[in-house]
Structure 1
Amino acid sequence: MMKLWRRTAGAIKDRSSIWLATLSPRTPYRHPDLEAAIIRATSHDGAKIDYTNARRVFQWIRTSPVYLKPLALGLSSRMEKTRSWVVALKGLMLIHGVFCCQIPSVQRMGRLPFDLSAFEDAHSNSSKTWGYNAFVRSYYAYLDQKSSLISSEAKNVKKELKPLLLDELIKIQTWQSMLDMLLQVRPLDEDMKGGLVLEAMNNLIFEIFDVYSQICNGIAQVLLDIYETPGKPEASLALQVVKKAATHVEDLTQYFEICREMGVLNASQSLKLEKIPEEDIKDLEKIINGSVNFHGKDNGGEMRSELRNGSKRGLKTVITDKWERFDADCCSSTTLQTPFASCSSSHLSLVSKPVHKQDLPDLITF
């Protein structure tokens, strides 16, 4: 009876909000139809997502950057007022999908236009909603930091065409920290493993592959550059990056296992991540302690030639053409499924990547 009452009350709130939105005048900051679509896409109905209106929001954003301000205002107003974890989670999935449209105006947005860092659901007992509250807060924290980061990177691209090696290493460390935040977005309560949370987790698998691909590609490139740059500080920082990547293998394995137990579609396949060999880390340590000179010689001058010839030895996992190919291509139609509507396709996916046909690298095998 209580659930029925909450559902009815939520539906009434949504209809009232839509009615008020349609009465608002159209200005550079207000767009009644867009606001109504946002409300429908973030309804109080926890049993479903309105994919049609989510696609309409994405279409507006793709059409023109002038719709970004009405989107920011409409979604911000919706998120700041709500005390429902269902509405909050749908709003986060919606803005996550907007990011995947890869529109320059969105990439320059900066921090999210709303704050859910202290979100608490007010429609149920806290003993039943604490897990949802934590999920919303951690999901928000990640998206907020990502929005800020991609905005900063977009500005830096204009200033510097060829980033310094040290800057590239710092960038990789930043994305590794982002991956740490992303892996914290998970259900903490057994009762949460279904419904909207399951849908959100399915989206997060795409995000993990996207972030991890940037880390892999970055490592592959900078480690090749290490052999061209006579700088121990860079090699030392690269060593930290590689060691962190090794710990991420363990973290990702655990995360995917949790997702499989939940029944997350995109983690349902038998996923195995191979550890970074100790030999690869030792090669970097040799550079730092001076046993390898920066003309590419190591006990007979073989390390550089092995690296160039693609030998099985010497950074064999970190620096390979397979690692360099590890990007959004891993999210192909043969590996990851799209359960809701993509910004870039007709599939039903709020968060998804373009379809590609490249193979997965040797660090991630099925």
Structure 2
Amino acid sequence: MRLWIKASGALKDTYSIWVAKLAPSGPCRNPDLETVIIKATSHDEQCMDYKNVQRVFKWLRTSPLYLKPLLYTLSIRMEKTRSWVVALKGLMLIHGVFCFDLPAVQKLGRLPFDLSHFSDGHVNPNKAWVFNAFVRSYFAYLDQKSAFVRLEATRETKHGSKELKEETVMEELKNVEKLLGLIDLLIRIKPRNPSMNVVLVLEAMDCVMDEVLDMYAKFCVRVHHVVSRIIDFGGKDEAGVGLDVLRKAELQGGKISKYFDFCRDIGVINVSECPEIVKIQDKDIDELVRIRDGCVSEKKNMKGDTNNNNNDDVVAYEFNNCRAIVTSSEKQLDLKTVITDQWEVFDDDLMDSASNATNFPIFTTSNPFLDSLSIVPYIPVCNNPVLPDLIIL
């Protein structure tokens, strides 16, 4: 039975290559490129045909115009196949395409084919479900990553210019959450049965492990950056979302450690040491908690020194009957004005020098606005004032 499956798969590949060579060329079709793609995604389950995979990538490096026929041919092949081998090779091929820094790839969006309900039609269903689950998990991640890459490209285009406004803290938090969800989808890709420890599956796991290292490194950089932005500019909402992201990241860190241990046990080649799990300092977490709870933290000046210094000396300054309360610090030579709730009102020299002026008492009050009527005397204004005759005829 197994020999018959291999023979039928080889016949299908030969027939597809023959049809591709006879097909006319067009904007979406290139017979030579189709032939290489069919060979790269053959029914041979022994291993990936990396020679033809590199030939596909060489076509793409030659000109971005070959991306459209590549996606067209690969989509047709993925939609028709009922073999988990062909489906897995096609996913590995499109995964490699994402490594090209091409605007057309970044703007791709969702994948042009759907393997979310893939089911192998050649293997016993009791054995095929683990391969089906592996293909579906791999597709789910690549499909979401393709959408995320497009979102990132759009955001970089929008905020790429230095003159444009930087994205808000909440927008950056949402992007970090999406990246966290991508990593969660990524670590779900794993063989769920010892019978899956075949060469092709292990090669796919090598690609997955490289992706885990890359995506988690990006997440660590972004989460540290957004935490510092929340502490500097964020409010209660941002701090609450940030704490939730840190809680999820802590839980995911344990899952990643277990995932690396599992991959090491099944013999994945590229598994070295587990990446350093993201760790936020306790003082930053406490600061986020204070911001979320609405507590006012100690603010810092431009030099990094705090304004709350209990060793400052209070000095009263008086000049020309004008008084001010200032402080002098041992670390600074200049004087600082201190705002206090104790107010004093003094006589004006002009009132003392005025002839027969009424001497008004001095009042001391804690709130000058409430007692202003008692401090300032009321001087009635004559309703019918007599104006002097300024014109002398």
With the length of structure 2 as denominator, give the TM-score of the two structures.
0.72
Per-residue deviation, 1:158: 1.9
Aligned to 1:51: 50
Q: Which amino acid aligns with 2:39?
A: R
Aligned with 1:89: secondary structure? helix
SS, match of residue 258 in structure 1: helix
Distance 1:199 1:168 in 2: 34
Q: Which residue of 2 aligns with 1:6?
A: 5
- Kindly indicate whether residue 242 of structure 2 is the aligned counterpart of residue 260 of structure 1: no
Tell me which moved more, 209-218 or 130-139: 209-218
Task: Please tell me whether residue 236 in structure 1 is matched to residue 218 in structure 2.
Answer: no
CA deviations over 1:199-237 (Å, ceiling 9, x no partner): 111110111111112211111111121232042211221
Cα distance between partner residues in 1 of 2:69 and 2:298: 55
After TM superposition, give the deviation of residue 275 of structure 1 in Å.
6.9
Structure 1 CA distance, aligned partners of 2:86 and 2:131? Answer: 11
1:12 and 1:201 map into 2 onto residues whose CA distance is 28
| Residue 169 of structure 2 corresponds to residue 170 of structure 1 | no
For 1:163 and 1:283, locate their aligned partners in 2 and report how far apart those are by CA, in whole Å: 22
Partners of 1:22 and 1:31 lie apart in 2 by 9
The equivalent residue for 2:279 is: 276
Task: Report the Cα distance in structure 1 between the residues aligned to 2:300 and 2:181, rounded to whole angstroms.
Answer: 31
Which residue of 173, 180, 188 maps to 1:184? 188
In 2, Cα distance between equivalents of 1:294 and 1:51: 59
Residue 271 of structure 1 aligns with an amino acid whose one-letter code is C
Whether the 8 Å contact between 2:231 and 2:288 is mirrored in structure 1 is no
Asked which structure has the greater CA Rg, the reply is 2
Q: Does residue 295 of the first structure (1) align with residue 299 of the second (2)? A: yes
Residue in 2 aligned with 1:349?
Answer: none
Deviation of 1:106 after TM superposition, in Å, equals 0.7
The aligned amino acid for 2:67 is: L
Partner-residue secondary structure (3-state), 1:265: coil
Counterpart residue identity of residue 236, structure 2:
K
Alignment of 1:103-122 (within 5 A): 103-122=102-121
Find 2:212's aligned residue among 193, 200, 208. 208
Percent of aligned positions that are identical: 47
Alpha carbons of 1:45 and 1:220: their partners in 2 closer, same or farther (altered >3 Å)? same
Instruction: Give the conservation status (yes or no) of the 8 Å contact 1:40–1:53.
Output: yes
2-structure distance, mates of 1:230, 1:134: 42
| Structure 1 residue 296 displacement after superposition | 4.8
Preserved contact between residue 243 and residue 281 of structure 1 (Cα < 8 Å): no
Partners of 1:110 and 1:148 within 8 A in 2: yes
User: In the TM superposition, what whole-angstrom CA distance separates every residue of 1:270-307 from its partner, at most 9, and x where no partner exists?
Assistant: 4364573672533421232244527359xx978xxxxx
Equivalent residues, number: 298
1:131 lines up with 2:103 in the alignment: no
**Secondary structure of residue in 2 paired with 1:266:** coil
* Corresponding residue of 1:96: 95
* Deviation of the 1:255 alpha carbon: 0.5
Per mean C-alpha deviation after superposition, the further-off stretch among 285-294 and 18-27 is: 285-294
Q: Which moved more, 1:86-95 or 1:206-215?
A: 206-215
Query: What are the residue-to-residue correspondences of 1:25-104 with 2, within 5 Å?
Result: 25-104=24-103
Q: Which amino acid aligns with 1:138?
A: S
Looking at structure 2, the residues matched to 114 and 294 of structure 1 have their Cα atoms a distance apart, in angstroms, of 55
Query: Residue 202 of structure 1 contacts residue 266 of structure 1 at CA under 8 Å; is this kept in 2?
Result: yes
Higher strand residue share = 2
- Asked if the contact 1:194/1:262 (under 8 Å) is kept, the reply is no
CA distance in 2 between partners of 1:173 and 1:230 (Å): 17
Matched residues in 2 for 1:141 and 1:283: separation? 37
CA contact (8 A) 1:108 1:151 kept: yes
In the TM superposition, what is the alpha-carbon distance from 1:77 to its structure 2 partner? 0.8
In the alignment, structure 1 residue 286 sits paired with structure 2 residue 290? yes
Distance 1:166 1:275, change over 3 A: closer
Q: Which amino acid is the alignment partner of residue 67 of structure 1?
A: Y
Task: State whether residues 96 and 143 of structure 1, in contact with CA within 8 Å, keep that contact through their aligned partners in structure 2.
Answer: yes
Residues 81-137 of structure 1: per-residue CA shift (max 9 Å, x gap): 100000000000000000012221111111111110110000111011110000001
- Structure 1's unaligned 5+ residue stretches are 303-366
Letter in 1 for 2:15: S
What secondary structure sits across from 2:130 in the alignment? helix
**Structure 2 Cα separation of the partners of residues 275 and 96 of structure 1:** 26
Q: Is the contact between residue 235 and residue 291 of structure 2 (CA under 8 Å) also seen in structure 1?
A: no
Find the aligned partners of 2:156 and 2:25 in 1 and give their Cα distance.
35
Structure 2: runs of 5+ lacking an equivalent: 161-165, 307-393
Alpha-carbon distance between aligned partners in 2 of 1:38 and 1:223, rounded to the nearest angstrom: 45
Distance, in Å, in 2 between the alignment partners of 1:294 and 1:31 is 66
Shift in alpha-carbon separation, 1:112–1:194, aligned structure 2, 3 A = same
Matches within 5 A, 1:149-168: 149-161=148-160, 162-168=166-172
